[in-house]
Structure 1
């Protein structure tokens, strides 16, 4: 199982109740069941390469078809209500059916509504089964090696087995005699209830993936290549990666090599360090879901999990400060690495909850300890630049984001990823440009 936690989901904005999140961007579902299925995908990324490639394949396939004819939100709500009706004994004849209703007011409005629900539901279930049988049958014939399509198709077969084809044709035409309605109501709602629920699950999966396929085309997303880890080659390569939540995002090329799997990203606030970490993390996360990514191209090896610490706060109820929460996150990371897991790690503004000297020493020691974990990736950002030389000697790759200083326009953030360490002292430059010290000195001279 892929390793993920709530903090990482929040930091990558995968699921967020307050703001628009990744789930919202990809949600093109029609049915409530499809929406729930899509949500489950976001909470449970894939670890196996074969399953990731299968999901990529079906999303690609769904870009070339149109299944909107069978997707109806309110129809599926009615059918879920129908399958949730209480189980009832089978009435073999019209006479016994009415005899069992003697104790009920079968002329009442409620009974008539229920009768209509049953009749309509039998017809609509038959329509869904027939549609999926034809659709999946065609896919299976054209792509016989896709075992997951065969699995979908087998779920349809389990419902159709032992069903008279002539009677099934009448269900499709909505020509139900009372005897047929009684028979198939019992069959669908009692004998084959679980099998029909599995058919609904197939429909919901197709609904979820069809929505992703539409999003892929509309946003011009690309599917990443999933590769095996080869020492000496790139572990992650993203060409023109960008953030999905920005209207006019700056695109960056990312290349993380084996042996260069520990980045130290420097720069002041507002230079875009957090956004860049989220962009890279999002691409890796979506790749493990079998989803397309916001880039022109991407290659990645697979990891056992992602651990992000970007927007970590205090835990007042537990009496834990921001710094102590960081310590707990690092302990969690240490335990995951000690267990042999390959983790993709994102940490923003390390140790900002303690003093400068303490943070410098802790950062240096941490990077020394992380050096040997060659199958994981560590992207660490910090505003502490004084220790960059010693960290580079320990194998850390130095990166920063560009800033231009313009006396007339002020700071111009390029958000472009560059090699090396951020050298600009933006704080002092801004203070001098705004003449803060001159104002204070002038004011002091009057006292």
Structure 2
């Protein structure tokens, strides 16, 4: 999936939520680089079945291993500082570099201060390289042939090639001379600088994947199955989908086929429409990250992009009203669909920035246009129910969330997904229950008598 925008990330609580977002949920990283890598995963959804299944396998593999010994937040901060030191002036050989260092810097106060950082960093880089080499060799010997692990091992081999094994052992034992320190400082920070950076990235990737593996232990999440047959009838099937951020959340089954790829979800405020859209959208989004989803089981096709319009606001700086922002957003989605993109689209209470009659007409026209794009999925929620008989005749899937009205307990929101149209008039029911009109009429009568 290559198409995602800031509005969608915000609406699905992917990043930068005021309370808790998906990154926070999966973040058990140790290093700052690992957290940056995890954050990057969320900004770059994957686009192929192979990529997704590869990451799924990696996360499952990371549940079986223990790499905490390789991860040290403060050590990596020091190593990043070390690797960011300015590269030394070019020298034709290590020998001339060594002579220049000894003659110009060896007796200087600056060299003495930096010597501690340099020596410790060389030792730690050797430890990380050796630790990763043993970890990846162990994974291979145990039958884990995930291609990305092979790629990681190539980066390790690039560091170790042309390195004297006896000298490397001295670096591991942290017992090496100033001559070796200068030699390997030149090697690590100049000749193999980019390769060392790749080693750090391998460690950060493992930290991020290990973080996801740790975060899902003991939780009811499942890895989705990816369908490659784009011509099939089933597009998305989710059993027991629930919201990741709601404790004891109600689970719902979701089945979206090609013939009913457009849902029209009705109901009053507080019935759970927005939450349901976010729940389904989160499952689809996490699938494209190669992450497990909050459900009992899931099977889905892949999409070129996902777009959510749930909490769209005004653009004061651009002088754009809420309704104009809605129009621009729909136009952008129309252009993507017209270009042939397979999209997963969520729209919550669209056209609420205009009057009811205008919104009703616009919604009906939009649905009529969207229903022809059978390779995409559209989930629309609305208060507008008068167009539902027309939509039903056109084969649109009508859905609502169950509500029970009880004189003693009040409104009971079941949050259960049902077929049909929401017919409860919750506003009038609440107004009558609270005797609002009765109070007003009584006041009017009393005023009239006076």
With the shorter chain as reference, the TM-score category is over 0.9
* Alignment partner, residue 364 of structure 2: 364
- The alpha carbon displacement at 1:162 in A equals 0.6
* Alignment partner, residue 275 of structure 2: 275
Q: Distance in 1 between matches of 2:232 and 2:421?
A: 24
Q: Which moved more, 1:80-89 or 1:193-202?
A: 80-89
Determine if the alignment matches structure 1 residue 92 to structure 2 residue 82: no
Q: Distance in 2 between matches of 1:127 and 1:289?
A: 31
* Alignment partner, residue 400 of structure 2: 400
* Alignment partner, residue 223 of structure 2: 223
- The alpha carbon displacement at 1:372 in A equals 1.1
Q: Which moved more, 1:177-186 or 1:73-82?
A: 177-186
* Alignment partner, residue 353 of structure 1: 353
- The alpha carbon displacement at 1:232 in A equals 4.8
* Alignment partner, residue 167 of structure 1: 167
TM-score normalised by L of structure 2: 0.96
Q: Distance in 1 between matches of 2:417 and 2:408?
A: 24
CA contact (8 A) 1:133 1:156 kept: yes
RMSD: 1.5
* Alignment partner, residue 308 of structure 2: 308
* Alignment partner, residue 12 of structure 1: 12
CA contact (8 A) 1:14 1:22 kept: yes
Q: 1:251 to 1:381 in 2, by over 3 A?
A: same
CA contact (8 A) 1:271 1:402 kept: yes
* Alignment partner, residue 30 of structure 2: 30
Residue aligned with 1:235, SS: strand
- The alpha carbon displacement at 1:209 in A equals 0.4
C-alpha deviations, 1:235-265, integer Å up to 9, x for none? 1111111111112211111111121100000
TM-score normalised by L of structure 1: 0.96
Residue aligned with 1:208, SS: helix
Equivalence map 1:34-113=2 (5 Å): 34-89=34-89, 92=95, 96-101=100-105, 106=108, 108=109, 111-113=111-113
Q: 1:73 to 1:306 in 2, by over 3 A?
A: same
Q: Distance in 2 between matches of 1:136 and 1:238?
A: 35
Q: Distance in 2 between matches of 1:29 and 1:393?
A: 52
* Alignment partner, residue 234 of structure 1: 234
- The alpha carbon displacement at 1:319 in A equals 1.4
Determine if the alignment matches structure 1 residue 319 to structure 2 residue 322: no
Q: Distance in 1 between matches of 2:382 and 2:17?
A: 29
- The alpha carbon displacement at 1:137 in A equals 2.1
CA contact (8 A) 1:232 1:259 kept: no
- The alpha carbon displacement at 1:351 in A equals 1.2
- For structure 1, which runs of at least 5 residues remain unmatched after alignment? none
- For structure 2, which runs of at least 5 residues remain unmatched after alignment? none
Q: Distance in 2 between matches of 1:409 and 1:396?
A: 34
Residue aligned with 1:247, SS: coil
Q: Distance in 2 between matches of 1:157 and 1:111?
A: 31
CA contact (8 A) 2:57 2:146 kept: no
Equivalence map 1:238-257=2 (5 Å): 238-257=238-257
CA contact (8 A) 2:392 2:398 kept: yes
Say how many residue pairs are matched.
Answer: 443
Residue aligned with 2:95, SS: coil
Q: Distance in 2 between matches of 1:165 and 1:428?
A: 82
